[in-house]
Structure 1
Amino acid sequence: MVGAAVTRARVLIICAPLAGCTGVQSPLAPAGDQASALSSLFALMLWVCGIVYVIVLAGIAWALWRTWRRSSAAPSGSGGDESPDRVLTRTLPVAAGAIVAGLTVLIVGSFWADRALFATRGAPALMVRVTGHQWWWRIQYHDPATGAWIETANELHLPMGTTTRVSLGSADVIHSFWVPNVAGKLDMIPGRRNLIDLTPRREGWFRGQCTEFCGTQHAHMAFDVKVESPAAFQTWLAMQAAPARRSADRGARLFAGPCAACHVVRGTGAGGRAGPDLTHVAARQSIAAGTLAMTRGNLQGWIIQPQALKPGTSMPAVPLTPADANAVADYLASLR
């Protein structure tokens, strides 16, 4: 039994580096045009640098062999080898030419990859604004039909095969936006807006992450990314634009107290802007910026003790009795 466990451990250790080559958060499993361009550039750099590495090792081995042969032949008086100066004079131009050729290939590859990062030179099909907060994401979609901005939080939906231009900003410190499977990363800087294009080519769920240390909960500042067909995206966006269902139950009345000071639930009196929009919170895959799965129990736990689950978060512990917290969790679980 011990031997089998040791063998499994060794296999896991050997295979662990390969875990980053696939999955929902891997730049080596591209699912979008921009990620594919960066992956191709990475492969090009790997090939060029790998060839240079092999050539350098071969040169070192050849030099060591020549030195050994010269030292072995010295006692017998045989010395027919070329002088080091003549060898250097002959090989230096070849080496310099190879270096220039390799750098030229990398420069051209970088240029074309950089051009591919902005797929749409004119107006993109969809505009999205993403604003980083400590530690969550405000996400707003521009509705071309009405001109309105439809707000959600911590979950980015993208239509497959369509270019979405994302405007990135920050409400507090420097954050960094990265969806490895779809595109490269870009910083989110307070006081300015940076633009990035996303053109996904494969449906499914992916994971985005803040990649600039932004405080104690930086590791728990993630977001879910759903790539779906254009028709499914339009259906989802129409659902997000709709107000929440009206409710007169106890949970809704309790939420209209302290919770409404920080959160929006469109269609109700809750209009706070300090925290995420909760109009359709139960339709999301996770809560607390990817920290917890979206379940009824996690919702209640987050309401009662957010600081225990995500220390340092801006959400305070709301003084509710267990029965009141249960009622508020029931209400939030109904917001789909």
Structure 2
Amino acid sequence: MEKLIEKALNGDARSIARLITLVESESPYAESLMKTIYPHSGKAHIIGITGSPGAGKSTLVDKMIKEMKSKGKKVGVIAVDPSSPFSGGAVLGDRLRMQQHSVDKDVFIRSMGTRGSLGGLSRATYEAALILDACGKDVVIIETVGVGQSEVDIVKIADTVCLVLVPGMGDDIQIMKAGIMEIADVFIVNKADRDGAERIATEVKMMLDLMPKRSWLPPVVTTIAEKGEGIKELCSKIEEHYFFLTNSEEGKRKKYQRLTNEVEAILAKEIARIVEDAWENMKSKELLDDLAQRRKDPYSVAKELLDNILCGGNLNV
């Protein structure tokens, strides 16, 4: 394991892929691996790209990779896809749209499944981002599925969140969603050659004007990803936001909040594992019969289970 980690930290793509596979498959070695990796992380700019399916996120990321590469940056990409109900693996395989970069030694692209995570982002997504960070990537781009809560969930992982909107797909309604306006650091109106693009851009700016003043005013960038138009300006605005984060109190506060979220996520996962194990030991046909016949209620059973865990010393509280 030490040799594998050492090779990954030196940028070996095959070793990096193996480390990500270990955390994604929840290997018994995953925790010790992340403990070793963590001190080497904290240098990369993590960028979240989210938005409705069909917004052109993968094409946008493809062009962003090219622009960032032209500036000498090493780029890691995690394309989060819906999980297969059979294998747990990624279904769509968005990295196919980024095929031209697959042989570039300075670019690492990985598709990952949501693996049933309600927020659309599994714990392994963040751990994979940390691995790419520790292994020398200057920028790590996380492209989300773009459905439901994942749009908001990305803020717990990324330094800079980019929300992609598209005319003609109901995205004028999308911007009215509670929470959506708050999470985006950069708004992107993609497929700007379509009718209605200017209207969406104007509506976003009007909504931002109505919101409480913030020290960072999210810019609205129009792009035509297929033609590569607007990509240079987009990357410039993303860099401006990262500079703002590294030189402001808000940036420090956001960083501390992410670290808090990180510890809480690990705690929640560990507590859930302990509770599930205890429930499996407690569950019996007699108990389920009592619940079915209403001789016992699930609230009392749950409290009894928790009392047994706490009194048994399985949780240090």
TM bin, normalised by shorter chain, reads: under 0.3
TM-score if structure 2 supplies the norm length?
0.25
TM-score if structure 1 supplies the norm length?
0.24
The structure whose residues are more often helix, as a share, is 2
The structure whose residues are more often strand, as a share, is 1
